[in-house]
A and B are shown apart, each in its own frame.
Chain A
Amino acid sequence: MTATAATALRTRHLLSIDDINEAEIALVLDTAVAMKEVGARSIKKVPALRGRTVVNLFFEPSTRTRLSFELAEKRLSADTMGMTTAGSSVVKGETLIDTAKTLEAMSPDMIVVRHASSGAAHLLSRVCRSSIINAGDGTHEHPTQALLDAFTIRERKGRLAGLRVAIVGDLLHSRVLRSNALLLTKMGASVVACGPATLIPLGLDRLGVTSTTSMDEACEGADVVMMLRVQHERMHGLFLPSVREYFTLFGLNAERLKRAKTDAIVMHPGPMNRGVEIASDVADGSQSVILDQVANGVAVRMAVLYLLAGESKENE
Chain B
Amino acid sequence: MPVVMDADRVAKSLTRIAHEIIEHNRGIDDIRLVGIRTRGVPIARRLAAALKDITGADVPTGALDITLYRDDLMRQSVGPQPVVRSTEIPFDLEGKHVLLVDDVLYTGRTIRAALDALIDFGRPKTIQLVVLVDRGHRELPIRADYVGKNVPTSLRESVQVHLAEIDGRDEVEVQS
A-B pair count, CB < 8 Å, reads 70
Q: A243 an interface residue at 8 Å Cβ cutoff?
A: no
**Which of A45-53, A66-74, A79-87, A205-213 is the contact stretch?**
A45-53
A20 at the interface (CB under 8 A from B): no
Judge whether A314 is part of the interface by a CB distance below 8 angstroms.
Answer: yes
Residue numbers in B under 8 Å from A104 (CB-CB): none
- B122 touching A34 by the CB < 8 A rule? no
CA gap between A303 and B87 in the complex, in Å: 15
Query: Which of B78, B83, B87, B120 is in CB contact (< 8 Å) with A43?
Result: B120
Contact with B along A34-71 (1 / 0, CB 8 A): 11011001110111111100000000000000000000
- The total of chain B residues at the interface (CB under 8 A) is 23
Q: Is the CB of A7 within 8 A of B116?
A: no
User: How distant is A147 from chain B, measured CB to nearest CB, in Å?
Assistant: 15
Assess whether A9 is interfacial by the CB under 8 Å rule.
Answer: yes
B84 to A35, Cβ gap below 8 A? yes
Cross-chain contact B80 with A34 (CB below 8 angstroms):
no
In the complex, are the beta carbons of B116 and A47 less than 8 A apart? yes
- Flag if A37 contacts B80 (CB, 8 Å): no
Contact of B74 among A42, A43, A47 (CB under 8 A): A47
**A10 to B, closest residue via Cβ:** B80
Closest approach, in angstroms, between the C-beta of A210 and any C-beta of chain B? 36
Interface of B is mostly: loop
Which residues in B have their C-beta under 8 angstroms from that of A35?
84
Check B79–A37 contact: CB distance below 8 A: no
Report which of A47, A306, A311, A312 forms a contact with B84, defined as CB distance below 8 A.
Answer: A306
Residue tally, chain A, CB below 8 Å to B: 32
Given A7-B83, A27-B83, A34-B84; A48-B76 close (CB under 8 Å) = no
Min CB gap A243→B, angstroms: 44
With a cutoff of 8 Å between Cβ atoms, the chain A residues found around residue B74 in the complex are 47-51
Known: A34-B65, A43-B120, A45-B120. A8 touches B80 (CB 8 A): yes
- Residues in B whose Cβ lies below 8 Å from that of A280: none
Roughly how many angstroms separate A86 CA and B25 CA in the complex, as a whole number?
61
Tell me the complex Cα distance, A76–B81, Å. 14
The CA of A46 and the CA of B70, in the complex, are separated in Å by: 10
The answer, among A7, A47, A311, for a CB contact under 8 Å with B69, is: A47
A315 lies within 8 A of chain B by Cβ: yes
Known A46-B69, A313-B76, A315-B78; judge A31-B84 contact (CB<8 A).
Answer: yes
Please give the distance in Å from A12's CB to the nearest CB on chain B.
Answer: 11
Residues of B within 8 A of A38 (CB): 68, 87
From B81, B85, B120, give the contact of A309 (CB < 8 A).
B81
A79 to B117, CA, bound (A): 20
A308 and chain B: residue at smallest CB distance: B81
A307 at interface, CB cutoff 8 A: yes
Name A41's contact: one of B76, B78, B83, B120 (CB within 8 Å).
B120
Contacts of A76 in B (CB 8 A): 68
A38 to chain B, nearest CB (A): 7
Given contacts A9-B80, A34-B85, whether A41 and B68 have CB atoms under 8 Å apart is: no
Q: Contacts of A9 on B, CB cut-off 8 Å?
A: 80
In chain A, residues 14-44, which have Cβ atoms closer than 8 Å to a Cβ of chain B? 27, 30-31, 33-35, 37-38, 41-43
A171 to B69, CA, bound (A): 43
B88 interfacial by beta-carbon distance below 8 Å: yes
Within 8 A of A (CB), among B41-77: 65, 67-69, 73-74, 76-77
A-B contact pairs, 13 of them (CB 8 A): A7-B80, A8-B80, A31-B83, A34-B87, A41-B121, A42-B122, A46-B117, A46-B120, A47-B74, A51-B74, A312-B77, A312-B78, A312-B79
Interface residue ranges, B against A (CB under 8 Å): 65, 67-69, 73-74, 76-81, 83-88, 116-117, 120-122
